Chain A
Amino acid sequence: MLRQRPLLVELLTAACLIAAPFILPHVGFTPTTINRILIWGLFGIGFDILFGFTGLLSFGQSAFFGTGGMVAAYLLTVANFPYGTASLLIGTMVAAVVGYLVGLIALRRTGIYFAMITVAISEVFYFVEFNPLSDFTGGENGLPGVPPPSLFLGFTTVEFNTNWKMYGFLAFWYFVGLVIALRIIRSPVGTVLRAIRENPGRAAAVGHSINGYKLTAFVVAAAYAGFAGGLLGMMQGFMPPDAFTFETSGQLVMQSAIGGGGTLFGPLVGAMVWLYLSDFLQTTLHLGSTWKLVLGIVFVLLVCFLRHGLIGGIADLYRIVTRGQARSTEEAADETLREEHDATPQAVSKPAAVPARPREASLNGRPILQAKGLTKRYGGLVANSDIDFAVTRGEIRGIIGPNGAGKTTFFKMLTCEVPPTSGQILFEGHDITGMTVTEVCQLGLTKSYQINQLFNRLTVRENLTIGVLAELRGTFRLDLFRSTKSVPELERRVEHALELVDLVKRADTPVSDLAYGEKRRLEIGLALATSPTLLLLDEPLAGMSPQERIGTVRLLKSIARGRTMIIIDHDMDSLFELVERVTVLHEGRILIEGTPDEIKRNSKVQEAYLGGVHAEVAAE
Chain B
Amino acid sequence: MLNWANFISQCFNGLVLGALLALISSGLTIIYGTLGVLNLAHGAMFMLGGYAGWVAYTYTGSFIVAVAFGAAFVMVVGILVERVIIRSFYSRPHEDQLLVTFGIGIVFVETIRFFFGSLSKSVPPPPPFVGITNLGFMMYPTYRLAVLGIVAAALIVLYLVLYRTRIGMIVRAGIEDSAMVDALGIDVGKIFMLVFGLGAAAAGFAGIVNAPVVSIAPDVGEAILVQTFVVVVIGGVGSFPGAIIGGLIAGQIISLTSMFNPGYSYIMLFVAMTLVLVLRPYGLLGTAGRE
Inter-chain contact A128/B291, CB cutoff 8 Å? no
B99 and A303: CB pair below 8 A?
Answer: yes
Q: For the complex, give the distance between the alpha carbons of A257 and B99 in Å.
A: 8
Closest A residue by C-beta to B112: A293
Residue in B229, B233, B262, B277 with the greatest tally of chain A CB atoms within 10 Å: B229
- Across-interface contacts of A485 in B (CB, < 8 A): none
Given the known A-B contacts A117-B277, A304-B88, are A112 and B99 also in contact in the complex, defined by CB atoms under 8 Å? no
A112 near B110 with CB under 8 A, answer no
Q: Are the CB atoms of B106 and A108 closer together than 8 Å?
A: no
Q: Determine if B152 is an interface residue (Cβ-Cβ < 8 Å).
A: no
Chain B interface main SS type? helix
In the complex, A336 has a CB within 8 A of chain B: no
Give A405-444 as 1s and 0s: 1 = Cβ < 8 Å from B's Cβ atoms: 0000000000000000000000000000000000000000
> What are the residues of chain A within 8 A of B291 when measuring CB–CB?
109-113
- Complex contacts, B103 vs chain A, CB 8 Å: 254, 296, 299-300, 303
Q: Is A574 an interface residue (CB 8 A)?
A: no
**B93 nearest CB neighbor, chain A only:** A55
Residues in A neighbouring B277, C-beta threshold 8 A: 105, 108-109, 117
User: Is A57's CB within 8 Å of the partner chain B?
Assistant: yes
* CB proximity of B277 to chain A, nearest CB, Å: 5
- Pick from B99, B118, B232, B265 the residue with the most CB of A within 10 Å: B99
B199 to chain A, nearest CB (A): 15
| Partner of B270 from A59, A113, A124 at Cβ < 8 Å | A124
Decide yes or no: A300 and B104 within 8 Å by CB, A109-B277, A117-B277, A120-B273 being known contacts.
Answer: yes
A contacts with B: majority SS:
helix
A303:B96 contact, CB within 8 angstroms: yes
Contact call A296/B110, Cβ cutoff below 8 A: yes
Contact: A115 with B38, CB < 8 Å?
yes
| Cα distance, A121 to B261, chains bound together (Å) | 19
B281:A109 contact, CB within 8 angstroms: yes
Q: How far is the CB of B21 from chain A (nearest CB, A)?
A: 13
Which of the residues B85, B102, B229, B267 comes within 8 Å of A250, measured between beta carbons? Answer: B102
Q: Encode B91-104 as 1/0 by CB contact (under 8 A) with A.
A: 01011101110111
CB of B202 within 8 Å of the partner chain: no
Q: List A contacts of B32 (CB < 8 A).
A: 112
- Is residue B278 contacting chain A, with contact meaning CB distance below 8 A? yes
- A293 CB contact (under 8 Å) in B110, B222, B261: B110
> Which residues in chain B, 229-260, are within 8 Å of chain A measured between CB atoms?
229-230, 232-233, 237
The contact of B98 among A57, A300, A304, by CB within 8 Å, is: A57
> Are the C-beta atoms of A304 and B100 separated by less than 8 Å?
yes
Place the interface of chain A in its size category: 35 or more
Chain B residues with CB under 8 A of A108 = 277-278, 281
Distance (whole angstroms) from the CB of B28 to the closest CB of chain A: 10
How far apart are the CA atoms of A419 and B225 in the complex, in Å? Answer: 37
Smallest distance from the beta carbon of A295 to chain B beta carbons, Å?
8
User: B222 to chain A: which residues have CB within 8 Å?
Assistant: 246
Complex CA–CA separation, A131 to B262 (angstroms): 9
Given that A110-B291, A115-B98, A124-B270 are contacting pairs, would A131 and B106 also be in contact in the complex, using a CB cutoff of 8 Å?
A: no
| Shortest distance from the beta carbon of A356 to any chain B beta carbon, whole Å | 35
Known A-B contacts A111-B291, A120-B229; the reply to A303 vs B264 at CB < 8 A is: no
Set A51, A127, A300, A307: member contacting B107, Cβ < 8 A? A300
Contact of B129 with A by CB under 8 A: no
Report if A289 contacts B (CB, 8 A): yes
Bound-state CA distance A303–B106 (Å) is 14
A116 pairs with B233, CB closer than 8 A: yes
List residues of chain A with CB within 8 A of the CB of B274: 105
Q: Does A73 sit within 8 A of B, measured CB to CB?
A: no
Give the distance in Å from the alpha carbon of A117 to the alpha carbon of B94 in the complex.
15
Residues of B within 8 A of A9 (CB): none
B164 close to chain A: CB less than 8 A: no
Q: Is B140 an interface residue (CB 8 A)?
A: no
Known contacts A108-B277, A111-B94, A120-B233: does B111 contact A293 (CB below 8 Å)?
A: yes
Q: A479 → chain B, closest Cβ, in Å?
A: 28
A105 vs B92: C-alpha distance when bound (angstroms): 27
Are the C-beta atoms of B96 and A307 separated by less than 8 Å? yes
Contacts of B229 in A (CB 8 A): 116-117, 119-120
B267: A residues at CB distance < 8 A? 124, 127-128, 132
* Across-interface contacts of B128 in A (CB, < 8 A): none
Is B114 in contact with chain A by the CB < 8 A criterion?
yes
A111 vs B289: C-alpha distance when bound (angstroms): 11
Known contacts A120-B230, A127-B266, A131-B261: A51-B95 contact under CB 8 Å: yes
| Residue from the list B98, B230, B263, B266 in contact with A112, Cβ < 8 A | B98
Residue on B nearest A307 in the bound complex, by CB: B96
Given contacts A116-B232, A119-B226, contact A293 B266 (CB under 8 A): no
In the complex, which of the residues A59, A112, A300 contacts B100, with contact meaning CB atoms closer than 8 Å? A300
| Interface residues in A287-328 (C-beta closer than 8 Å to B) | 289-290, 292-293, 296-297, 299-300, 303-304, 307
* A491 interface contact, C-beta 8 A: no
Docked pose: A15 CA to B218 CA in angstroms: 44
Contact A296 B270, CB 8 Å, known A113-B291, A119-B229, A289-B113: no
Contacts A123-B226, A293-B107 given; indicate if A113 touches B98 (C-beta within 8 A): no
Q: Mark A114-152, 1 if CB is under 8 A from B, else 0.
A: 011101110110111011100000000000000000000
- Chain B residues with CB under 8 Å of A130's CB are 263
**Max count, chain B CB within 10 A of own CB: residue among A126, A303, A307:** A303
A-B contact list, 28 entries, CB within 8 Å: A55-B95, A105-B274, A110-B291, A112-B98, A113-B233, A116-B38, A120-B229, A123-B226, A124-B266, A126-B266, A127-B264, A131-B263, A132-B267, A250-B106, A253-B102, A289-B118, A292-B106, A292-B110, A292-B113, A293-B107, A293-B113, A296-B103, A299-B106, A300-B107, A303-B96, A303-B99, A304-B85, A307-B92
Given contacts A109-B291, A292-B106, 19 further A-B contacts (CB under 8 A): A57-B99, A59-B102, A108-B278, A110-B291, A115-B38, A116-B229, A117-B229, A120-B269, A120-B273, A121-B270, A124-B269, A127-B264, A246-B226, A253-B99, A290-B110, A293-B114, A296-B110, A304-B100, A307-B92
Residues of B participating in the A interface, judged by any CB pair closer than 8 Å: 32, 38, 85, 88, 92, 94-96, 98-100, 102-104, 106-107, 110-111, 113-114, 118, 222-223, 225-226, 229-230, 232-233, 237, 261-267, 269-270, 273-274, 277-278, 281, 291
List the 8 closest pairs (A to B, CB-CB), nearest first.
A131-B263, A293-B110, A296-B106, A116-B229, A300-B103, A296-B107, A112-B38, A127-B266
Q: Which residues of A contact B (CB under 8 A)?
A: 51, 55, 57, 59, 105, 108-113, 115-117, 119-121, 123-124, 126-128, 130-132, 246, 250, 253-254, 257, 289-290, 292-293, 296-297, 299-300, 303-304, 307
